[in-house]
Chain A
Amino acid sequence: DIQMTQSPSSLSASVGDRITITCQASQDISNDLNWYQQKPGQAPKLLIYGASNLETGVPSRFRGSGSGTDFTFTISSLRPEDFGTYFCQQYGDLPFTFGPGTKVDIK
């Protein structure tokens, strides 16, 4: 299985801050990576697909980049509603696997 790691595991930031989360795959997955946001008690929500493509309806402050084994997820200007846990997910090979998540708190 392809192992996914994320850093940091958690972060706390202020409204308006730029935050960055990294995701690393244990092997080359090209750009076969998605990003999800999950709020407590809710199902995940797809934000980014194909490493850098914004899902329809997702605000442009969310951005993804990277390819191969190293990926980055950025929120350019943090808003109060952006709290939650963010997961990366690879589909370069079966089984699909997820990163352990990054919990984002608003200061």
Chain B
Amino acid sequence: QVQLQESGPGLVKPSETLSLTCSVSGASVSSDSYYWSWIRQPPGKGLEWIGFIYNSGRRNYNPSLKSRVTISVDTSKNHISLRLSSVTAADTAVYYCSAGYYRLHAFDIWGQGSMVLVSS
């Protein structure tokens, strides 16, 4: 059974870089069976897909965030990372790590989410 656990600072200052980690148990992040995504949800609002990574390096990002976002995998630690630079208050959200089992486009495994507040 695959489980995902997000971790990282709950508070980030404006203009700084948000960094989150998703620890994966029950599967290898280098497995060809899984597609790994980050999705966020501002408080009281809807869901926004940030991007995905698979095959340890093939990536695609939401164009609205593309210039600021990096998703990577660390196979030695079996985790997936998210970095979002030059954050503003609009980046305040719950950030979810998610995975699709043999499906790039369906998110059938989710972490519990990590709340990040952007504030000075």
Known: A46-B107, A87-B47, A100-B46. 13 other contacts (CB 8 A): A43-B111, A44-B96, A45-B110, A46-B108, A49-B106, A87-B46, A89-B47, A89-B107, A94-B60, A95-B62, A95-B64, A98-B49, A101-B46
Q: In the complex, A100 Cα to B45 Cα: how many Å?
A: 7
Q: Would you give 5 A-B contacts (Cβ < 8 Å), ordered by A? A: A1-B63, A43-B96, A44-B47, A87-B46, A87-B47
Give the dominant DSSP class at B's interface.
loop
Interface set, chain B 87-120, CB cutoff 8 A to A? 96, 98, 103-108, 110-113
Minimal beta-carbon separation of A20 from chain B (angstroms): 20
Q: Which residue of B lies closest to A46 (CB)?
A: B108
Nearest residue (CB) in B for A95 is B62
**What residues make up the interface of B, taking CB atoms closer than 8 Å to A?**
46-49, 60, 62-64, 96, 98, 103-108, 110-113
Q: Within the complex, what minimum Cβ distance (angstroms) separates B97 from chain A?
A: 9
Chain A residues touching B, range: 20 to 34
Q: Which of A1, A45, A55, A98 is the one whose CB lies under 8 Å from B47? A: A98
User: For the complex, what is the distance from the CA of A45 to the CA of B106, rounded to whole Å?
Assistant: 10
Contact assessment for A43 and B49 in the assembled complex, using a CB-CB cutoff below 8 Å: no
Residue of A nearest to B65 (CB): A95
B47–A46 touching, CB < 8 Å: no
Q: With the chains together, A94 CA to B99 CA distance in Å?
A: 17
Residues of B within 8 A of A55 (CB): 108
* Chain A hits for B104, CB < 8 A: 91
A98 touches B63 (CB 8 A): no
Cβ–Cβ contact A91 & B47, under 8 A: no
Q: Are A46 and B106 in contact (CB under 8 A)?
A: yes
A-B complex: 10 closest residue pairs judged by Cβ atoms: A91-B105, A43-B110, A96-B49, A98-B47, A95-B62, A46-B108, A49-B106, A100-B46, A34-B106, A101-B46
B46 touches A99 (CB 8 A): yes
Asked whether, in the complex, the Cβ of A43 is within 8 Å of the Cβ of B113, the reply is yes
Among B46, B96, B105, B111, point to the contact of A96 (Cβ < 8 A): B105
The answer, yes or no, to whether A32 is at the interface (CB within 8 Å) is yes
Among residues of B, the one whose C-beta sits closest to the C-beta of A4 is: B46
